[in-house]
Amino acid sequence: MQYQNLWAPWRMAYINTMAGHDGAATPPTEQSKACFICEAAKVTVPSDDAGQQLVLLRDKRGLIMLNLYPYVNGHLLVAPLDHTPDLPGMTAPQRADLLELVTLAQSLLQAAINPQGFNIGLNLGRCAGAGLPGHLHAHVVPRWSGDTNYMQTIGRIRVIPEAIQATYTRLRDTLNTLQQTKQ
Ligand SMILES: [Zn+2]
pTM value > 0.85? no
Cα-to-centroid distance, 105 and ligand 1 (Å): 20
Ligand 1 geometric centre to CA of 30 (Å): 11
Catalytic annotation present for 135: no
Question: Residue 142: is the preceding peptide bond cis (ω within 30°)?
Answer: no
- Of these ranges, 17-26, 53-62, 148-157, the one predicted with the greatest mean pLDDT is 53-62
Catalytic position from the list 21, 75, 137, 139: 137
Model pLDDT, residue 128: 87
Q: Yes or no: say if 159 and 8 are a contact pair by the CB < 8 Å rule.
A: yes
Measured between alpha carbons, how far is 70 from 77 in angstroms, rounded to an integer? 10
**CATH numbers and ranges of domains, the chain:** 3-182 (3.30.428.10)
- N-to-C CA span, the chain: 51
Q: What is the rounded distance in angstroms from the CA atom of residue 67 to the CA atom of residue 141?
A: 10
Q: Are 87 and 79 in contact (CB under 8 A)?
A: no
For residue 130, how far is its CA from the centre of ligand 1 (angstroms)? 13
Q: What is the pLDDT of residues 101-152, one digit of tens each?
A: 999 999 999 999 999 999 999 999 988 888 888 999 999 999 988 776 555 4
Residue 41 Cα to ligand 1 midpoint, Å, equals 8
Local confidence band at 181 (pLDDT 50, 70, 90 cut-offs): confident
Q: Which residues surround ligand 1, an ion (CB under 5 A)?
A: 32, 35, 37-38, 83, 135
- What is the C-alpha separation between 47 and 68, in angstroms, rounded? 18
